[in-house]
Structure 1
Amino acid sequence: MKQNQKILVVDDEQDLLEILKFNLETEGYEVQTATSAEEAQTLDIASFDLLLLDVMMGGMSGFALARLLKDDPQTARVPIIFLTARDTENDTVTGFNLGADDYISKPFSLREVMVRVRAVLRRTATENGEEEAHFITYQGIVMNLDKKTVAIDGEEIAFTKTEFELLHLLLDERGRVFSRQELIDRVWPKDVLVLDRTVDVNITRLRKKIGRFAKCIVTRLGFGYYFDA
């Protein structure tokens, strides 16, 4: 299992949330919970590897949330397992028609949930492996590594080769601080003389081009730069 795979569990039963969170974390997953579809929408759902989603909740239903997620290119590829007391044939068909990867009826055994979670994550990782290798995304930033394009909130922005490679590196290793020399070594050609000031100028240009995400490129005084996700 890939380390620190992220799972979001959405259910209005607090006790069930705590039980699932504890057992999934015991299996090595990183788990976040939400008690409603509305609360889940405040999170960066695209950053999760799997969504465990209750169907019948107060307010927006799990089916309605799933429909919104599958209609959004940023979240369409997040696999969904429905957890629900509704186990009629029509409900099951509805769930799968919405793009669900599995459907587990309550009451269920925790062992069954863990087995199905592993199966879905393994299957979707295999199916998406090639595609994931060609795109890097973070919220509204989408980098197409084949076409060398960058879209910010759906709008394609022109990047120089250096700006593209800088963003690629910072996004690909989010949270890691890179010194100016490390950036020079990994982004610029070996036969080009690059000064620290050149790095700073390109970082400034990069921040301007990524708009509302500019604040994510953080300066760590005395150390360098990193992308704060």
Structure 2
Amino acid sequence: MTAETKRILVVDDEETLCDVMAFNLEAEGYVVEKAYSAEEALAYDLSEFDLILLDIMMGEISGLQLVRIMRSNPATASVPVIFCTAKDAEDDMIRGLDTGADDYITKPYSLQTVLARIRSVLRRASSSSRDNTSSSSTPMLTVQFMGLQLSRRTHVCMVDGEEVRMPRKEFEILFRLLSDRNRVFSRAELLSEVWPGETVVADRAVDVNVTRIRQKIGRYGRHIITRSGYGYGFMDDPV
């Protein structure tokens, strides 16, 4: 698809930066709207955008909180989000990605870097959409182990009949482990599948997400085993 068909919302409380970014994106052919706060962003129908470019440090509602709101709403759960922020510590990056962002860019950044990341995220979103609507190559939509069940159709994780809220990255990691049980995946494999093309992601992001997954899935957490120096797997009979 061409840039002209893509709608992007730029959200940043630094109005000058927001205006400049919007101007440059429009020059690339995107249809762009602006919001100077998360509150202003929520006044839009966010489901109509193809991508949200978002700052983290804003007013009463932060960028992280806005993403949580989006991911909890089925209408906006799959809208791609890229954080553009001055928070450049590794823990900040992991927190942002763990919240459900699709990419994380630290300020100061070049326009060309932002444009490249936007194109990459939009390509992945478009590819995912095609996969989900293709009748000839429909990916696995549901995986289950005893009372643990994940559905890609509804993006819901059920643990013994109770729904467990799970950010996108956690969901995708667990879905991948469950879809090929009794196999150990390296961190590099999980990074390439769950964060494809995202050069800013550290191995630590996988470890943090797996730790949280184990805590959330209760008695099934022990089935996620660690192979020191390699990675993780979901085992039917963990040792």
**TM-score above 0.5, yes or no:** yes
The equivalent of 1:78 in structure 2 is 79
CA distance 1:14–1:100, change in 2 (3 Å): same
Q: How does 1:1-229 map to 2 (within 5 A)?
A: 1-2=1-2, 3-131=4-132
CA distance 1:94–1:29, change in 2 (3 Å): same
Could you give the per-residue CA deviations for residues 70-120 of structure 1, whole angstroms, max 9, x where no partner exists? Answer: 011000000000010001111111111111110000111111101111111
Cα distance, 1:133 vs structure 2: 7.3
Distance 1:131 1:39 in 2: 31
Q: Which amino acid aligns with 1:35?
A: Y
Distance 1:129 1:16 in 2: 34
Distance 1:75 1:132 in 2: 18
Q: Which amino acid aligns with 1:62?
A: G
Cα distance, 1:132 vs structure 2: 5.6
Cα distance, 1:23 vs structure 2: 0.8
The equivalent of 2:155 in structure 1 is none
Could you give the per-residue CA deviations for residues 2-50 of structure 1, whole angstroms, max 9, x where no partner exists? Answer: 3320000100011111111111111110000000001100100000000
Distance 1:106 1:81 in 2: 13
SS in 1 for 2:5: coil
Distance 2:108 2:61 in 1: 22
Distance 1:21 1:54 in 2: 13
SS in 2 for 1:15: helix
TM-score by length of structure 1 reads: 0.56
Q: Which amino acid aligns with 2:28?
A: E
Larger radius of gyration: 1
SS in 2 for 1:38: helix
TM-score by length of structure 2 reads: 0.54
Number of aligned residue pairs? 134
CA distance 1:36–1:124, change in 2 (3 Å): same
Cα distance, 1:123 vs structure 2: 1.1
Distance 1:132 1:47 in 2: 19
Cα distance, 1:63 vs structure 2: 0.2
CA distance 1:39–1:88, change in 2 (3 Å): same
Stretches of 4+ aligned residues off by more than 6 angstroms: none
Give me the identity figure in percent.
Answer: 50
Distance 1:77 1:133 in 2: 17
Q: Which runs of 5+ in 2 are unaligned?
A: 136-239
Distance 1:29 1:123 in 2: 17
Distance 2:31 2:134 in 1: 22
Q: Which amino acid aligns with 1:114?
A: L
CA distance 1:93–1:123, change in 2 (3 Å): same
Cα distance, 1:69 vs structure 2: 0.3
Distance 2:134 2:62 in 1: 33
Q: Which amino acid aligns with 2:59?
A: G
SS in 2 for 1:83: strand
